[in-house]
Structure 1
Amino acid sequence: MDVKTGFFYLFALVLLFAAFRVVTARNPVHAVLYLMLAFSQASAVWLMLNAEFLAIVLVLVYLGAVMVLFLFVVMMLDVHIDTVRRGFWKNFPLAATLGGVVVFQMAAVLMSGFSLTEAPASAPGALPVDNGKALGILLYTEYLMPIQIAAAILLVAMIAAIALTLRTRKDSKAIDASVQVKVRAADRLQVVKMAATQLAPAPVAETEANPAEAKK
């Protein structure tokens, strides 16, 4: 057994263990962490199969965005495990049926085998081109217009999402300039008429201020 085969069995073993722990973990945070471990091992297996683009996309999209989002959502929701487990046996028949269907389909695929074809041989003396570079050349030459349309749609969707979620802050003291220009002095300043001078109040005698001492 060479080194490449040894690494494949190592990644596959860790992948199976992580996938098993995703299902059997009691803590949802631990389940998400095991799922991230499973995705990382699957990415390593794809790298060994010379599928660099799929491996990088799996790491960037799922590990870098989706799974981190799932982890934060699970931690912020504070799911009560005891409440969730109350309906376990009620939903167990349906879950077992779906699991059996998935196992049957995978077994049928594995038993029938895969029709492998040899990769096209490159021209003699030509430099080897990886699939990531070949996919990039194909996307930005033959499919340039669909890529640009998809990028424009995603940009519009991102701007719309930011505009829909944008709300004015209540604690902000910023003032609109147009409101300041249209303001009138009568709306901001009120003149109150008061007498120029006022008589000082008469001094109060100590006896009147404290009647108890006056009686003594």
Structure 2
Amino acid sequence: MDTTTALFYVFSAVLLLSAFRVITANSPVHSALFLVLSFFSASCIWMLLHAEFLAISLVLVYVGAVMVLFLFVVMMLDINIEVLKQGFWKHFPVAALVGVVIALEMAWVLQRGFNTSVVKPMEGPVGMPNTKLLGIELYTDYLYPLEIAAVLLLVAIISAIALTLRRRKDVRGQNPSEQVKAKKADRLRIVKMDAVREVASVPAAAPAADAAPKGKA
């Protein structure tokens, strides 16, 4: 067994263990941290497969952005994990069976990709980095699918914003079109006033009368 194979088994074991701990950890913060460990392990496996671009993208996009956002959201919401995990072990056998079926289906579909005699390697000059080869392949042979995927993602972003845009009566909002149409005369009015104004004199208060009458001698 060479070093690459040994590292592959080590990172794969860490990946499987951390993925299992994501769904079994008692704290949602610990689950998010185990998910970060899973992404790092998957990135190391991509590096062993000489896919440097995918490895660094996995670290930058998921670990550096998505998981940090998830971690902050989980810490701010203070989720009661005990309520969410009620009946977890009751349904765990069914979930494990579904997971095994999905893993077998993925293995059956992806096993063709591990056959080096079928996969056509990317052609390019000797010594050219893998990232540059991927960029050339992506923006030449797969340019139209890339543009279609970009348009679909843009439509999905606009749809998500439109679905979450709700008018609430208890929140004050701003109308940008009305703000642009505003003029100085509508917002500012100059009023001339005297610099000094006489203050009316206030009469002194009369002394209070005795509440109780004086007794006779």
Whole-Å separation in 2 of the counterparts to 1:43 and 1:202 = 87
Deviation at 1:80, TM superposition (A): 0.9
Q: Secondary structure at the match of 1:46?
A: helix
For 2:9, the aligned partner's letter is Y
Q: Which residue of 1 aligns with 2:55?
A: 55
Alignment of 1:127 onto 2:131: no
Cα deviation, 1:58-114, whole Å, max 9, x if unaligned, reads 112211222222222222222112212223355445424413423554676899995
Q: Which residue of 2 aligns with 1:10?
A: 10
Q: Which residue of 2 aligns with 1:116?
A: 116
| Matched pairs, number | 202
Whole-Å separation in 2 of the counterparts to 1:135 and 1:11 = 25
Whole-Å separation in 2 of the counterparts to 1:121 and 1:161 = 37
Q: Secondary structure at the match of 1:86?
A: coil
For 2:207, the aligned partner's letter is A
Whole-Å separation in 2 of the counterparts to 1:121 and 1:197 = 92
Whole-Å separation in 1 of the counterparts to 2:40 and 2:67 = 11
Bigger Cα Rg: 1
Q: Which residue of 2 aligns with 1:140?
A: 139
Verify the 8 A CA contact 1:46 1:52 in the aligned structure 2: yes
5 Å matches for 1:25-174? 25-88=25-88, 91-92=91-92, 94-102=94-102, 104-105=104-105, 114-117=114-117, 120=121, 126-144=125-143, 147=146
Alignment of 1:210 onto 2:208: yes
In structure 2, the CA distance between the partners of 1:84 and 1:184, relative to structure 1 (3 Å rule), is closer
Q: Secondary structure at the match of 1:50?
A: coil
For 1:74, the aligned partner's letter is V
Whole-Å separation in 1 of the counterparts to 2:198 and 2:101 = 97
Deviation at 1:31, TM superposition (A): 1.0
Verify the 8 A CA contact 1:122 1:128 in the aligned structure 2: no
Whole-Å separation in 2 of the counterparts to 1:132 and 1:115 = 22
Identity of paired residues, percent?
47
TM-score (ref. length: structure 1):
0.64
Deviates more, 1:27-36 or 1:105-114: 105-114
Report which of the two has the higher share of helix: 1
For 1:14, the aligned partner's letter is V
